[in-house]
Amino acid sequence: MKPKISDFGLAKIFNSNGSEQNTTRRVFGTYGYMPPEYASEGIFSIKSDVFSFGVIIFEIISGKRNSGGRQCGDFINLLGYAWQLWKEGRWIDLADASLVTKSNPIEMMRCINIALLCVQDNASDRPTTADVVAMLSNERMIMAEPKQPAYFNVRVENHGTSCAPESCSINDITISVTVPK
C-alpha cells in the first residue's frame, strides 16, 4: 500500500518525473490538516497523510471544522478539544448530537482513539496507512493508548467583551482568532 498525497495541495511538491522528496523549503497545503513537522520544518512522509486523515475523522464525528478560526471549548482547534475530552473520559461530548443517538458508542470511541493516534505530535508515534485500515477493519484489534496530539495546547482565554484579534503561536505557526462581542 503506497499512499499518495492529494487534495491538500501537497502534490505540488513532487518532482515532475514523479519522484518524491521528503523536505521542501516552501510549505503548501491547507492549514489545520498538515502535520507539525511539515508546517514548521517542511518535512513530510507517508505519516503526513495519516495526520490529515485523523483531522478528517474528528471533523466527521464532531460536525465541526478544524480550521476556520472557530473556538472549541477553551481550545483554538478541534485536536486540543478532543484530547482534553479523551483524557477526562468525556469523549462522547466530542460527537455531534445527531450521531450520539444513532451510533454505537464503542465504535465511536474506537474512531476517536484512531483519530488521536493519527494526529500524535511525533510522526514516528503515528500509525501507517495500513495500520489505520487494519484498526478500522478489525473491531477486536487492541489499539495503543494515544499520546498528546500536535497543537493540543493552544488555548484561548475568554475575555468576555473583547473583540480584538488574538494571536497564538506554537511550533513557528501563527493562528489568529477574532473574538466577537
Q: Is 181 a domain residue?
A: no
Give the pLDDT confidence score for residue 164 in this predicted structure.
33
Task: Please count the structural domains in the chain.
Answer: 1
The predicted model scores a pTM of 0.70
Answer yes or no: is 19 within a domain. yes
The reply to whether 125 falls in a domain is: yes
Which of 47-51, 150-154, 169-173 has the least mean pLDDT? 169-173
The packing angle between helices 105-118 and 129-137, to 10°, is 170
C-alpha distances (whole Å) from 180 to each of 3, 65, 70, 156 are 41, 18, 11, 13
Tell me whether residue 45 is in a domain: yes
Mean pLDDT across 156-162: 42
Q: What is the pLDDT of residues 95-147, one digit of tens each?
A: 998 887 787 888 999 999 999 999 998 999 999 999 999 999 998 999 999 99
- The residue range of the domain holding 107 is 10-67+77-150
CA 68 vs. chain centroid, Å, equals 14
CATH number where 40 lies:
1.10.510.10
Residue 113 lies in a domain: yes
Q: Is 116 within a domain?
A: yes
Task: Give 168's contacts (C-beta < 8 A, 6+ positions apart).
Answer: 76, 154, 155, 156, 174, 175, 176, 177
